[in-house]
Amino acid sequence: MTENTTHLSQKNNLSTRHAGNPLGRILLLKSVSLVVVARVFGAGFAILTQIVLAVLLDAHEIGLFFVATGLAAVLAVVGTLGYPMLVPRIAAQAASENRSNLLAVFMARARIDTLIVSSLLICLLLLFIWLAPFPANGIQQSLFFSALTLPAFALLRLNGSLANAQKRFELGFLPDLFIRPLLLLLFVVTIWLTWENFDIKIILAGHAVIATALALWQMRKVAIKKNRTVHSGRNSENTANESTSVWRRRAAPLMLIALFISVFADVDIVISRLFLSDAQTGIFGVCLKISLFVAFGIQVLHQMIQRDIADALHNRDNSQIHKVMARANAPAVAGSIAAAIAVIMFGRELLGLFGHEFVAGFTSLVILMFSIVVRAIAGPAAQVLALGGQERACLPVFAVCMILLVLGNFVLIMWLGLPGAAVTVLIVSAVWSIWLAVLAKKKFNLNTSIIFA
């Protein structure tokens, strides 16, 4: 099948999709462009929302907003138990072995486990809110709304991964990246015009409702119909029971990898908040979100080639993997370097949109942009290792990086202030990027970095 006949519109039956055919360079760039444009608009909506909130509320409440949404995103990764990163492998296996029901059975189990674990996390978070001696500054209510948003974020991650594995990228990315920030902006403006004395708790409550509605809609659209003629009900049930323990063992190590790849910004905001004031957290959160907007483009490129890498790994075709990675690495590196130069030239003006106090984060923003360049140069090493079944080899890398993240924030923020948080991100990004690239070379004889490709 050629690039011209490959398209984004998909049917619901795995056996009739072209998902196993590699994305060509042109189609990959078109798909990435679609998602990045949607992300640009979504980020614009988010920035407008933050500007409106910054005008109406103080930096303390903006900090609470970042903490609440960041914590929900981090806990959502835990709630999915690493299943989203396992989806491309199961999809490749189902297509290769012509087992059309395998992916449907896997997704059913993943959703059940996600909802169970998310419910447990909500109970633990509510217990923590009840027992912890928080100051009366609104943090309890913010954490409460984090709990309410957690299941929605978890389902958006899981079902979005399924859509991407099927190369239905518009369904995988747009609900969370475009529609959610648009609806939140409309909600904030509506509240602003109709409610005289609102506070951040109202915004967080509305955000929880919006995220939940979108998660349910996406789950309905991405549903896979089982082929009843493949297995009897009892055989399907036995297959699911036998596979569940295997899936859980494979998925669990992927959880830590996902924390760094998908929600690193949120993890760092939660950790750095322990050493920064609320106002500093708001400034650093804005800088981190701006820098990771560029990282998002790299992440999208890597996510879009995951299915192709999984298929090639299943067939042990290293030459195909290098071709797939080359299509993603070149635009990733070029784009990150161009973005870093643009931030150096216009970063102060960009931060000034949020308020004059945010310009103090310019140095931090520049440092953060260099960390993104490092990640782009290293290539999709983490994805290659995870898709190739070497997720356990990644555990020491991210365990060390988690320790570095905590210690680095503690030491460098005390020493350098706000820029210390950015230097910590640069150090941690360099450590995990280089380490994983070395592991990918050792385990699969693959050069994931553009330098060696």
10 found inside a domain: no
pLDDT at 382 over 60: yes
Separation of first and last alpha carbons in the chain: 26
Cβ burial of 294 (10 Å; 0-12, 13-18, 19+) is: buried
Encode pLDDT of 6-50 as tens digits: 333 333 433 334 455 556 666 666 777 777 788 778 877 887 887
Q: How many domains does the chain have?
A: 1
Question: pLDDT grade, residue 431 (50/70/90)?
Answer: very high
Count of CB atoms situated within 10 Å of the CB of 97: 10
Question: pLDDT grade, residue 112 (50/70/90)?
Answer: very high
* Helices (runs of H) and strands (runs of E) counted in the chain: 17, 0
* Distance separating alpha carbons of residues 166 and 80, to the nearest angstrom: 19
Question: pLDDT grade, residue 138 (50/70/90)?
Answer: low
Sign of the Cα torsion 83, 86, 92, 96 reads negative
Mean pLDDT, range 228-257, rounded to an integer: 65
309 found inside a domain: yes
Question: pLDDT grade, residue 137 (50/70/90)?
Answer: low
* Distance separating alpha carbons of residues 154 and 438, to the nearest angstrom: 31
Q: Report the range of poorest mean pLDDT among 151-155, 204-208, 391-395.
A: 391-395
- Work out the mean pLDDT of the chain and round it to a whole number: 80
Answer whether 377's CB lies under 8 Å from 431's CB: no
Question: pLDDT grade, residue 264 (50/70/90)?
Answer: confident
Q: Which domain holds residue 131?
A: 21-444
Would you state the structure tokens that stand for residue 61, as one six-digit string?
């409440």
Most trustworthy range by pLDDT among 6-10, 44-48, 120-124, 242-246? 120-124
Give alpha helix (H) positions in 166-199.
169-174, 180-194
16 found inside a domain: no
Q: Report the range of poorest mean pLDDT among 87-101, 250-264, 390-404.
A: 250-264
68 found inside a domain: yes
Name the pTM for this structure: 0.71
- pLDDT at 369 (0 to 100): 93
* Distance separating alpha carbons of residues 339 and 36, to the nearest angstrom: 14
- DSSP character at residue 15: G
* Distance separating alpha carbons of residues 116 and 79, to the nearest angstrom: 8
Answer whether 428's CB lies under 8 Å from 394's CB: no
* Distance separating alpha carbons of residues 96 and 315, to the nearest angstrom: 9
Q: Which residues contact 368 (CB under 8 A, 6 or more apart)?
A: 287, 288, 290, 291, 292, 422, 425, 426
pLDDT at 58 over 70: no
Encode pLDDT of 143-160 as tens digits: 787 788 889 999 999 999
Q: Match 């690493």 to its residue by tokens.
A: 82
29 found inside a domain: yes
pLDDT at 245 over 90: no
What is the percent of the chain where pLDDT is above 90?
A: 16
- DSSP character at residue 167: T
* Distance separating alpha carbons of residues 304 and 445, to the nearest angstrom: 22
Output 229 or 262, whichever has higher pLDDT. Answer: 262
Could you give the count of Cα atoms lying within 13 Å of 16 in the half-sphere of its Cβ? 8
Output 133 or 221, whichever has higher pLDDT. Answer: 221
156 found inside a domain: yes
Answer whether 48's CB lies under 8 Å from 182's CB: no
pLDDT at 192 over 90: no
Nearest Cα neighbor of 105 from 249, 225, 220, 266 is: 225
- pLDDT at 256 (0 to 100): 74
- pLDDT at 452 (0 to 100): 55
449 found inside a domain: no
Would you state the structure tokens that stand for residue 370, as one six-digit string?
């260099």
- pLDDT at 18 (0 to 100): 45
Answer whether 74's CB lies under 8 Å from 270's CB: yes
- In degrees, to the nearest 5, what angle opens at C-alpha 108 toward C-alphas 179 and 266? 45
373 found inside a domain: yes
Cβ burial of 376 (10 Å; 0-12, 13-18, 19+) is: buried
